[in-house]
């Protein structure tokens, strides 16, 4: 077991070195995009399924509450949190539209909409990002594998260079933390 623990930690370190080398500029650009969104009065809408839904909720919580600094709240909504909305839309329109209908209701030009998908192929995330783009929102994907079909719907596609879902999720939450820190320090530091 110890050998497996060590192997997984080595895999984690190797991936994070790749993220550092290949994705630093994109992470900084994402923080800049969100900083501009908040400065201009826009909000963040963020979504994902399963573990990515948990990451979306975590992201929104850090933005609305705080990351490290005592500061004013910033507007962010995780579209995976309202079970009544999710089940009503899923029942009446189908699961592929659970995020798109919320973007239709909540997104305005100038908002930022972030989709999180380890495969890059979640149909409900893709549909929501496509509509967000049509509405004049800035779109960001936190993706894995090859970015899948979602990468083409994003102004910024941050593709964690891995095919291993747990490693991709580790990359996503670390990117979220870095972005939250940069946004907070830029706006309030």
Strands 156-159 and 138-143, how do they pair? parallel
pTM: 0.97
Range 154-180 average pLDDT: 98
Range 10-16 average pLDDT: 97
| 138: containing domain | 2-188
Range 41-59 average pLDDT: 98
- Position 130 scores a pLDDT of 98
- Give per-residue pLDDT as tens, 64-97: 999 999 999 999 999 999 999 999 999 999 999 9
Buried b (16+ CB within 10 A) or exposed e, 148-179: bbbbebbbbbbbbbbebeebbbbbbbebbebb
CATH code at 54? 3.40.50.10490
Which contiguous run of DSSP H or E holds residue 150?
A: none
Taking the CA atoms of 160, 65, 134 and 131 in sequence, report the sign of the dihedral they define.
Answer: positive
Q: How many domains does the chain have?
A: 1
- Going through 30-146 in order, the beta strands assigned E by DSSP cover 44-48, 76-78, 112-117, 138-143
What is 128-148 written as a DSSP string? Answer: HHHHHHHTT-EEEEEE-TT-G
Question: Rounded CA gap, 55 and 118, in Å?
Answer: 11
């Amino acid at each position: 077991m110890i050998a497996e623990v060590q192997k997984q930690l080595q895999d984690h370190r190797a991936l994070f070195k790749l993220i550092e080398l290949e994705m630093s500029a994109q992470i900084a650009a994402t923080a800049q995009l969100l900083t501009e969104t908040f400065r201009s009065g826009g909000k963040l809408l963020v979504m994902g399924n399963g573990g990515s839904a948990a990451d979306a909720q975590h992201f929104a919580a850090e933005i609305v509450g705080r990351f490290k600094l005592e500061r004013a709240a910033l507007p962010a909504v995780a579209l995976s949190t309202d079970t009544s909305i999710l089940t009503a839309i899923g029942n009446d329109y189908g699961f592929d539209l659970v995020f798109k209908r919320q973007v239709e209701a909540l997104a305005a030009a100038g908002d930022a909409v972030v989709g999180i998908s380890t495969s890059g192929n979640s149909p409900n995330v893709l549909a929501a990002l496509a509509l967000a783009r049509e509405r004049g929102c800035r779109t960001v994907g936190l993706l894995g594998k090859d970015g899948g079909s979602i990468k083409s719907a994003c102004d910024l596609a941050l593709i964690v260079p891995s095919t291993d879902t747990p490693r991709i999720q580790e990359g996503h939450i670390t990117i979220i933390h870095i972005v939250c820190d940069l946004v907070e320090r830029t706006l309030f530091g």
